[in-house]
Amino acid sequence: MMMMLLLSSAFAVAAEPPSSGWLQQQEHPDVKVRLAFTGQIKDGKALATLEVQLDNDWKTYWRAPGEGGVAPSFNHQQLENIAAVEWLWPLPQTYSLQGLNTIGYQDNVVFPLLVELNEQGAFDWQTTLTLSTCTTVCVLTDYKINLSGDTSQWTVYSQRAERFQIARSRVPVQRNTPIEAVWDNDRQLLSLSSAQGIEQIYFYSDDADLNELTFANTRTEGGEAIVKVDHWLETPELSGLEQDQSIAAVIVDETGAFQAPLDITAGAVNNLPTTVHSLPVILLFALLGGLILNVMPCVLPVLGIKLRSLIQSQQKTQARTKFLASAAGIISTFFALGIVVAVMKLSGQAVGWGMQFQNPWFLGALVVITAVFSANLLGLFEIRMPQGMSQKLATQKTSDSHRGDFFQGVIATLLATPCTAPFLGTAVAFAMGADIAVQLTLFVALGVGMALPWLLVAAKPSLVRFLPKPGRWLNWIKPVFGIMMGLTTLWLLSLLIIHHLAPATATPDPGWQTFEQEKIAAAVDDNQVVFVDVTADWCLTCKANKRAVIEQNPVATRLTEADMTLLQADWTTPSDNITDYLRQHNRYGVPFNIVYGPAAPEGIALPVILTDSAVLDAIEQAK
């Protein structure tokens, strides 16, 4: 009898710490949660974990969710013998969702919890976990959790203790020494620095109003970071905040991840990193990017139209008006593209440079237009149409109307948009993240840049005297221009047929894998160097990079070595995953190439126009 009492007493003492078990709502089966104590008590705090399992690309949020979303939270109904519950947050990731940058977690995440007890003994914890999860839609789900027991009778549950330690190791280390920061209230810029460098940075605050601030367009270089701060209502003065209104930062540097409060003082943010550009500099980039479009491969098909117009415009007055009309067509089309992008952004749609080539109706219209141009240049028809119609078909008959010249500028612009040129990517990325007024200004600047050759001839029509005089030789060169435009028609028609009229499953080039973002981290963990090529069949710059660099030695040989993983993302037709991936890297068009590796897990972005040295140097840095 005595032995039985001793055994009963022993089992009573060695009680398993409580767990909620897996909780799942029938209306939201892709998400389940579990809250469990480890059985450990340190400094009067019981250790616990909140596990969240997310299937099928669902995501949940960090304590400061970014531009959208709601942080997970507890709503306690009863805290008997519990003084407080401290929630620890593992290092998050940034995601682009519905055009918004959000901060959170995907797949599985374990949150360490520190449950502060009033004293050892019995407790009762009744709470509701509210969890916001999103894919293309967002769901707010409540989970009822009731846990009770006697902490003095717990034994340590080893698997849960190990799970807690792993999760705790992923929480940025707390540093009490504040990070000095400077707030420029006029420019709404926050500047801070770290001696160990800054690779990533996130901001948060325990103050509800400050936690609604958005920290956008963060730029880091070495140990400096500058971020644009905004608020949906009005951005407050951030210098001299009260202690209970402090802002903290999570910084990832060469030593790891840590978090610390910001000591913010007022001042001017002048020493911008080179990767942050003021609006005048971006406007200059837009002008240069538009100008360079004139010599990019995308514009070669309209070279015939431009040269023929130059040769025919031997009279100064005629040259000036014709080229002013073409320049107006270019600038007007860029302005119209800016309006379309603004409307798409306001409606929540993803936007990108050259995305119109993903639309079969746009391709079909260009097929018809370029075919008519080609047939006319080849002399297949000479139909005398009404003046308005003939001008729209870029007739070569001279008249007082310049609608045909204007239309040539429109076509030149539309055929140029599949290309991404140096400086163009920076200007477009800035425009996509700017307000509508700045965005339209930058698109007009792109148009002015592309129209500069036309404007130059219009300003100095005497330049036409350096060109050959028109004569019978034009009858011989016209078919050359017609063939060039005909090849453009065939190219556009192939895009329309292959990808829209008779679509087939996209397959990557031999030796390449189909792009999936999850493959990057897996390959890097396996000590592989990952080369990502975001391309499209309508992107002639992509094809030029491929033929001149990627498929040529020494790059081709290096890419076939055993330590390389090659991922190809085909953006020929719309893909939300690829669009989101581009936006994560502040890119809005193709080509985009980036190299990852054990030494560069965040990636080394390559220039728009690839070179052997740029690719090989990035691979060596990433190893």
As a whole number, the mean pLDDT across the chain is 79
Q: Where are the beta strands (DSSP E) in 246-384?
A: 247-253, 256-266
The answer to the question of residue 272 being in a domain is: no
DSSP SS3 for 410: helix
108-117 and 82-87 as β-strands: parallel, antiparallel, unpaired? antiparallel
Question: What span, in angstroms and rounded, lies between the C-alpha atoms of 65 and 95?
Answer: 10
User: Read out DSSP for 437-494?
Assistant: HHHHHHHHHHHHHHHHHHHHHHH-GGGGGGSPPPSTHHHHHHHHHHHHHHHHHHHHHH
pLDDT surpassing 80 at residue 476: no
Compute the chain's Rg from CA coordinates: 31
Amino acid occupying residue 419? C
Task: Write out the two tokens for 211.
Answer: 């936690």
* Angle subtended by helix axes 303-312 and 403-416, to nearest 10: 150
pLDDT for 342: 75
Q: Are residues 364 and 443 in the same domain?
A: yes
The answer to the question of residue 2 being in a domain is: no
How many of the other CB atoms lie within 10 Å of CB of 605?
A: 16
- Last-in-domain residue among 127, 154, 171: 171
Q: Are residues 331 and 430 in the same domain?
A: yes
Partners of 53 in beta bridges: 32, 108
427-473 pLDDT per residue, tens? 666 666 566 777 788 889 988 988 888 888 778 777 666 665 555 65
Q: Are residues 241 and 216 in the same domain?
A: yes
Q: Are residues 456 and 579 in the same domain?
A: no
The answer to the question of residue 1 being in a domain is: no
133-177 pLDDT per residue, tens? 988 788 899 999 999 999 999 999 999 999 999 999 899 988 877
The answer to the question of residue 201 being in a domain is: yes
Q: Are residues 428 and 442 in the same domain?
A: yes
Alpha carbon of residue 510 to chain centroid: 27
pLDDT surpassing 50 at residue 276: no
Number of alpha carbons in the 13 Å side-chain half-sphere of residue 475? 2
The answer to the question of residue 521 being in a domain is: yes
Q: Are residues 257 and 298 in the same domain?
A: no
How many of the other CB atoms lie within 10 Å of CB of 307?
A: 14
Q: Are residues 355 and 486 in the same domain?
A: yes
Domain with residue 178: its CATH number is: 2.60.40
pLDDT surpassing 50 at residue 386: no
The answer to the question of residue 273 being in a domain is: no
| Structural domain that includes position 21 | 13-171
40-88 pLDDT per residue, tens? 999 999 999 999 999 988 999 999 988 777 899 999 999 999 999 999 9
Q: Are residues 241 and 297 in the same domain?
A: no
Q: Are residues 152 and 93 in the same domain?
A: yes
Q: What percent of the chain has a predicted confidence (pLDDT) above 70? A: 74
Q: What's 43-86 look like in SS3?
A: CCEEEEEEEEEECCCCEEEEEEEECCCCCCEEEEEEEECEEEEE
CA dihedral for 576, 581, 586, 591, sign (positive or negative): negative
The answer to the question of residue 463 being in a domain is: yes
Q: Are residues 297 and 377 in the same domain?
A: yes
Are the C-beta atoms of residues 531 and 508 closer than 8 Å to each other? Answer: no
Total of domains in the chain = 4
- Last-in-domain residue among 153, 171, 189: 171
* pTM as predicted: 0.46
The answer to the question of residue 72 being in a domain is: yes
Q: Are residues 30 and 132 in the same domain?
A: yes
Question: What span, in angstroms and rounded, lies between the C-alpha atoms of 569 and 39?
Answer: 47
- Last-in-domain residue among 266, 287, 305: 266
pLDDT surpassing 70 at residue 249: yes
Q: Are residues 435 and 292 in the same domain?
A: yes
Nearest of 554, 515, 543 to residue 531 by alpha carbon = 515
